[in-house]
Amino acid sequence: MYTCPIQLSDVRYNAATQSFEASVTVHDNSTVRRYACAIDAPITMTFEDAARGLSRQAIRRHQHRGGLFSEVGTYKVRQRAGRRGFDPLRWFEGIVSRPGRTAA
């Protein structure tokens, strides 16, 4: 039994191909991967059965690392070289403390 959290998004029925399609996200430790899944099924299939089939397909792909997927990584903002971060309070104090700048 696979225990990683799975999230189904945009589940729809494609009448042209007679299949259920979805974007399935698999959360595995620190890795988050999305798979485009599709299962051949009649339109009369229940949503629960379709979701189960789509999840199974995503798990199979995830375990065997097969097929296309997109990986969502964490983005860490890095400071640009040679510049300090912008501090609005310090900027405002610099404007107020300039000579000849008095409030009326």
pLDDT tens, N- to C-terminus, the chain (104 residues): 556 788 998 899 999 999 999 999 988 877 788 889 999 999 999 999 999 999 999 888 888 876 667 766 666 766 666 667 778 888 888 888 777 666 55
C-alpha–C-alpha distance, residues 38 and 12, integer Å: 10
Residue 54 and residue 22 in contact, taking contact as beta carbons nearer than 8 Å = yes
State the pTM of this model.
0.62
- Chain centroid, CA 39 distance in Å: 22
